[in-house]
Each structure stands twice: as structure tokens, then as C-alpha cells.
A and B are shown apart, each in its own frame.
Chain A
Amino acid sequence: GDSVTQMEGPVTLSEEAFLTINCTYTATGYPSLFWYVQYPGEGLQLLLKATKADDKGSNKGFEATYRKETTSFHLEKGSVQVSDSAVYFCALTRGGGATNKLIFGTGTLLAVQP
């Protein structure tokens, strides 16, 4: 079945460091790919998305590119801030599916130190 694998955390970085969180997926068809972020004590918020191969999603300085050849959707940010500390989830929905069901990775905790 469809699945998402993302790098285990926690990831601890200093402020202004470069961030990469790896995400790979297994899916039939042409899934849409998402990164959601969960700040402490809050629900999930959509960070960015990409709906077809080679699309780049971007928001708040974060970027991820839909790579069909490597089935990957790695999250990157050039300079992290303390306020970026959160749990990041990679997720997919199956393209053309009737249900909109999100299939999530296990989440990666990012801690940014001043």
C-alpha cells in the first residue's frame, strides 16, 4: 500500500543553520505531496504542497520539490529560526482518489537553538 518514510528525529540545529528533512514515498498513480507542521500544543497546518512531478512547493522560506524519479519530497530551509521549532510531517494523498485521505510519515521533531 501507499506509505511515507521520513527521517527520524529529533533534529537539533543552531539558528541560521541549513535544514534538510528527508521524505520518500511509495504510491501508485500520481499522488499529491504535502508538508504539514505542528507547533507545540497546536493542530497541524499545511506548510507547502506539490501536485505533480517537478513542482516546487514553497512557503515561509521552506521549499520542497516533487521528484518522481527518486520518489522524494525533501524539505529544505536555508536559515532556520528558533520559531521554526516544531514537528514536521510529510504526507501524500493518492492522485485521483475519492477520499482525500492523507497518509503521513511518522513526523520529525526540529529543535532550533539560539
Chain B
Amino acid sequence: EAQVTQNPRYLITVTGKKLTVTCSQNMNHEYMSWYRQDPGLGLRQIYYSMNVEVTDKGDVPEGYKVSRKEKRNFPLILESPSPNQTSLYFCASSFSGGSSYEQYFGPGTRLTVT
């Protein structure tokens, strides 16, 4: 089954404790990205990757890091989480090279930073 998986689904942590949210896709997609969803703001892009070892900032990258060492995986790293990073996070993937390609979303990770 074609899918994007994220782990963990729920996470409660404390300020400053480094964490990683994993994302994996099984569709051989080149393009992967991370979004955060906040009430009244919709979804905003954090980082994206056009292919292995190619990453770039989205609209709200502050406080986040990513890496793309393998095509299927695109982890999101919070080196020193703060309460304003409490949010619902989604990973997405698609084929690249065309803006009309459907993006497939993971089920989301709800993060709470206290």
C-alpha cells in the first residue's frame, strides 16, 4: 500500500530536549516536505527536499533541521524545542518536476512542548 508514515503520532516533551520526528514513504518520490498546522493559519511549509542530499527552507524554518540521506526518509529535528513549536506536523511526498502532482500526506504528529 502506498503510504507516508510518521512516528511518533503523539509526543509531549519539555523545553530544550532534542527530538526527532521520522517520516518515511514507499512510493519512490523525489520530493518530500514538512508542514505545520496551526489553528487559523492553515498549513505552512517548514522545509522541503527535492531529492537525496538536497534540502531547502520553507516559510517557517526557524528552530528546525532536516536531513535527506536516503530517498525514502526525511526526518524533522528539533534541536531545542520551545513551546511555540507546539503544533500538528505533517510530512508529505510527491514526484517532482510538475506542480500538479498530488502530494501524499502522513497521518500527522501532534507535538506538545511544555
Q: Chain A interface (Cβ within 8 Å of chain B)?
A: 4, 31-32, 36, 41-46, 49, 51, 89, 93-102, 104-107
Contact = CB atoms under 8 A, between A and B. Distances in A.
18 contacts: A4-B42, A32-B100, A43-B90, A44-B105, A51-B100, A89-B42, A93-B99, A93-B100, A96-B99, A97-B99, A100-B33, A100-B96, A100-B99, A101-B33, A102-B45, A102-B92, A106-B40, A106-B41
Contacts of B74: none
Contacts of B41: 106
Contacts, number: 63
Interface string B85-102: 000001010101011111
A43 B43 contact: no
A105 B42 contact: yes
Determine the main DSSP class of A at the interface with B: loop
B6 to A, nearest CB: 8
Interface residues of B, number: 28
Interface string B50-77: 1000001010000000000000000000
A43 B100 contact: no
Contacts of A93: 99-100
Contact of B45 (A42, A101, A105, A106): A101
A36 B35 CA distance: 14
Nearest to A102: B103
Contact of A46 (B45, B96, B103, B107): B103
A42 B99 contact: no
B40 A94 contact: no
B102 A46 contact: yes
Contacts of A42: 107-108
Contacts of B101: 100
